[in-house]
Amino acid sequence: MSPRTPQQFEEIREEKKALIMEVALKYFANEGYHRTTITRIAREAGISKGLMYNYFESKEELLSAIIQKSVYEVYSFFDVNRDGYLSPDEFEYFIRKITSVLKEKQVFWKLFFQLMVQNEVRDRFLETFVGTRSMFGVTREIEERHFVSGIIKTITEYFLRKKETKGPDYDPLLELNMFILTMKGFWVTYIYSENVDDEYFNNSVNRIIEMYK
Amino acid sequence: MSPRTPQQFEEIREEKKALIMEVALKYFANEGYHRTTITRIAREAGISKGLMYNYFESKEELLSAIIQKSVYEVYSFFDVNRDGYLSPDEFEYFIRKITSVLKEKQVFWKLFFQLMVQNEVRDRFLETFVGTRSMFGVTREIEERHFVSGIIKTITEYFLRKKETKGPDYDPLLELNMFILTMKGFWVTYIYSENVDDEYFNNSVNRIIEMYK
Amino acid sequence: MSPRTPQQFEEIREEKKALIMEVALKYFANEGYHRTTITRIAREAGISKGLMYNYFESKEELLSAIIQKSVYEVYSFFDVNRDGYLSPDEFEYFIRKITSVLKEKQVFWKLFFQLMVQNEVRDRFLETFVGTRSMFGVTREIEERHFVSGIIKTITEYFLRKKETKGPDYDPLLELNMFILTMKGFWVTYIYSENVDDEYFNNSVNRIIEMYK
Amino acid sequence: MSPRTPQQFEEIREEKKALIMEVALKYFANEGYHRTTITRIAREAGISKGLMYNYFESKEELLSAIIQKSVYEVYSFFDVNRDGYLSPDEFEYFIRKITSVLKEKQVFWKLFFQLMVQNEVRDRFLETFVGTRSMFGVTREIEERHFVSGIIKTITEYFLRKKETKGPDYDPLLELNMFILTMKGFWVTYIYSENVDDEYFNNSVNRIIEMYK
DNA sequence: GATGAATGAGTATTCATTCAT
DNA sequence: CATGAATGAATACTCATTCAT
């Protein structure tokens, strides 16, 4: 009969928020942000529409929260190698990480990709979370800010360093470009694979490492 | 001032339809299908909403017509090589074709990609036009129907044949997979590049040919 | 640490109710009744929404309680002169009272005015609390019931009596009307003055007395 | 069978817009802006909600259009006397105008008053349309901009000039203040009178002229 | 008494589609 | 063939009120 403690309320809130975000991510990713209605999310999460708005100020804020959370989780995955120098083994480790996080957060990447694909949303979120708008273009000037830019810089330096051992015919920026191309291809392929074949997945990763390490 | 002949009417009709489709494609691709209103398309095409419905039964039918037309144009681009056998030079030619059609039809590909990214739309169109739902997955069984499946079959055979010259360490299906991966990466990169750097573009194409021919 | 007596409970209850009403009056008056949410009032009063409903059955009942209380306070301000006869000095005293109560209860008058201005609310409350719906109109028949009617009757008689001294050209009902007009103008002017200039305020009051005493 | 001409369409549009604005004004004025739903306006105007939005971008824009139109009509009522000098007869004429426009546009003034009475709306519209926020306060500094300010300036000068004939005991600014007070009282009284008694109305106007000319 | 999570009926707004002219 | 006024179903969002704890 005694009222719930603030901690209990906080717990309820966090659990419900997590539930809503989980359901919303699933539908945003698979059906698209615009096509997913609040009604659907609420029904699927077993709550009322009103409660949704108790936790998130708007549909957009819900999307934002999902992205923020996911980006944070992806960030925390890459806490190593932040010194800016990459040894070949660290490079390999990085590729293995990036491919495993693909599996781990497949649904989020689906959503992320979808957002990238739409002008409007891209402009709103890309700069905030990724720090670059040229992600899909050939990025020549290396941007300093943000996580992704930082990684790209580190990797660029890795490729530039390889020129010393590979000889005069080696075009490091072209190789970098091909590497990024391949990673994107890998990404887009496996994001939309419903039943990833582990053997092929691993073989592909190993081959990428073989080609670009 | 003599009345128009039925042929002339038909011509006018076709021109108007083409104009509408062109405008719609532009907006569908850049703003998104759901975010583009019929009103906007009609205004931009300089006609009334009513007339729109005279030409196309619904918004969806308009989309469908756009895709059909574009897919047809892309098809006709590849009229060669339909005999199912690919020589190395034909393979190179095919890559050059596929990359140039990327530039040629960039707007369509943008739209296409956007549609692929949504379950519902994917299910509705992919099978119809492309003949496979596993496009984004690791396709092992080679599907026979349709254009894309046909091409994949031809290319698969190209890679299988290479085993004979490349030796026992060569895994043709893995190489095929890497090739597809790379092409997808190339595709997704350049679709969303606003100002494609021709030099880099060509260098990348050449490198792909070098790697997989 | 002895348990509170029923009286103490009652006191606490009354204090809380008063606090809620005070906060609510402030927001109702300044932001509008409809635009003020229960959540806001509860938060501002430092209590929970649930408790609000422990004290007041509904938002409307809260409004009702506020008006009742304020009207009662205004009533009690005018406990003199209830014998129905007004001497000139009592008339002056009445004007000074009515203008000072304007300052005293400015926030309430703001709310009151806002309510008057809306048909629905006016109909609901005006009759109950003021005893007339013609408050804003030219009232000829003098209504007997209620406080305001009583005052108007008393004042009407005051003006009628003045005819004897003012001579045949004096139209007492017209003068009464002008007096009421002027009082309303004074009222509406000062309710919405944020920083009332005391000198002007007093000069205006004196001038009104000069004109109508 | 031939399509409507642009003129016909324009006519339809203007008639419907006028109808909607008329109905909306009535309900906004009598029930309050916030309490009046779009559904109600549409039903009362005999059209669908959707059509409302064909003509007005939002509820607020509808309100804005109503005010703009009404203010324009009131402005056009006062095209005389814009030279800034007021003779006594012009002053009388002005009062007769202002009181007759009260009758003419009673419903609008009801709405206007209601808006004034709410902080939020007041801030949004008052400055735009009236050019002063101190309307309800004792305005000492005379503002130059806008219509209302212009009139107040002209009238102020009228009262200042009267000092010369009225003698040293005459306080022109106090009289101005009393005049404004009385006009406001007149205004608020007659806005909310449902059946205005013409004789009383005219007598009141004459008495005001008598007092302040 | 006290809390705030939960509800649901209601509100403004959008937009594909129809249809009288 | 051509127009755009008109519709209505759907959608995001609000908020007074209830209720388990």
pLDDT in tens, C85-110: 889 999 999 999 999 999 889 999 99
User: Within an 8 Å CB–CB cutoff, is residue C199 touching chain D?
Assistant: no
Residue of C nearest to D187 (CA): C185
What's the confidence (pLDDT) of residue B106? Answer: 92
Nearest residue of chain B to residue A185 (CA atoms): B185
Closest Cα to residue D30, out of D100, D113, D103? D113
Residue whose token pair is 């729109």 = B52
Q: Does A155 score more than 60 pLDDT?
A: yes
Please, which pLDDT band fits residue C25 given cuts at 50, 70 and 90? very high
Integer Cα distance of B81 and B186 in angstroms: 22
For chain A, what is the largest distance between any 2 Cα atoms, rounded to a whole number of angstroms?
79
Task: Kindly state the tokens that stand for B33.
Answer: 């299908």
What is the per-residue pLDDT across A45-80, written as a single tens digit (0 to 9) for each?
999 999 999 999 999 999 999 998 998 888 777 765
| Strand E at less than 7 A from CB of D43 | no
Q: What are the respective helix, strand and coil percentages of chain C, to the nearest 5?
A: 75, 0, 25
**Given an 8 Å threshold on Cβ–Cβ distance, is D120 in contact with C191?**
no
**pLDDT the model gives residue A139:** 41
Distance in angstroms (rounded) separating the CA atoms of residues C145 and A144: 80
A14 CA → E6 C1’, Å: 15
pLDDT (0 to 100) of residue C152: 82
pLDDT given at position C136: 38
Give the length of chain B. 213
Cα torsion angle, C197, C203, C206, C210, sign: negative
Q: Is any Cβ of chain D less than 8 angstroms from the Cβ of C32?
A: yes
Closest residue to A203, CB basis, from B174, B180, B187: B174
Is the minimum CB–CB distance between A117 and chain B shorter than 8 Å? Answer: yes
In this predicted structure, which of A138-147, C113-122, D69-78, D176-185 has the lowest mean pLDDT?
Answer: A138-147
State the average pLDDT over residues D33-47.
95
Of residues A179 and A117, more confidence is placed in: A179
The predicted model scores a pTM of 0.85
Please tell me which of A86-90, B5-9, D36-40 the model is most confident about, judged by mean pLDDT: D36-40
The answer to whether A122 touches A115, Cβ cutoff 8 Å, is yes
The overall longest dimension of chain C from CA atoms, in Å, is 77
Q: H-type helices in C81-146, by residue range?
A: 88-104, 106-116, 119-130
**What H or E segment, with its residue span, contains residue A13?**
helix A6-31
Indicate yes or no: strand F within 7 A of the C-beta of C196.
no
- Interatomic CA–C1' length for residue B37 and nucleotide E16, angstroms: 8
Q: C139-177: per-residue pLDDT in tens?
A: 433 344 456 667 888 899 999 999 989 888 999 999 999
* Ranges of H-type helices in chain D: 6-31, 38-45, 49-55, 59-77, 88-104, 106-116, 119-130, 147-166, 172-191, 198-212
CA–CA dist C94, C102 (Å, integer) = 12
Is the Cβ atom of B39 within 7 Å of strand E at any atom? yes
Q: C8 to chain D nearest CA, in Å?
A: 39
Which among A177, A180, A207 has CB closest to B174? A207
pLDDT-flagged residues of chain B (< 50)? 1, 131-145
Interatomic CA–C1' length for residue B14 and nucleotide F2, angstroms: 16
Bigger pLDDT: A154 vs D1: A154
Q: Which of these ranges, A84-98, A141-155, D168-182, has the smallest mean pLDDT?
A: A141-155
CA distance D128 to B178: 65
Q: Positive or negative, the Cα torsion across A39, A45, A47, A53? A: negative
The C-alpha of D13 sits at a distance from chain C's nearest C-alpha, in angstroms, of: 31
Burial class (CB in 10 A: 0-12, 13-18, 19+), A108: buried
Taking contacts as CB-CB distances below 8 angstroms, the residues of chain D near C120 are 31-32, 35
| Per-residue confidence band for D43, with pLDDT thresholds at 50, 70 and 90 | very high
Q: How far is the CA of A55 from the C1' of F14 (A)?
A: 14
Q: What is the pLDDT of residues D100-138, one digit of tens each?
A: 999 889 999 999 888 887 766 666 565 555 544 443 344
Give the residue among A3, A174, C116, D22 at the shortest CA–CA distance from B203.
Answer: A174
Angle formed by the axes of helices C59-77 and C88-104, nearest 10°:
150
Query: D194 in contact with C at a CB cutoff of 8 Å?
Result: yes
Average pLDDT, chain D: 84
Number of cross-chain residue pairs from C and D with Cβ atoms under 8 Å apart: 134
pLDDT digits (tens, 9 = 90+) for C111-148: 988 888 877 666 666 555 554 444 434 343 334 445 66
Q: Looking at beta carbons, which residues of chain B come within 8 Å of A201? A: 138
Per the CB < 8 A criterion, the answer to whether A20 and A56 are in contact is yes
Nearest by CB to B197, from A34, A136, A138: name it. Answer: A138
Note every long-range contact of B79-87, with CB atoms under 8 Å and residues 24 or more positions apart, other chains counting: B81/B154, B82/B150, B84/B150, B84/B153, B84/B154, B84/B157, B85/B154, B85/B157, B86/B154, B86/B155, B86/B157, B86/B158
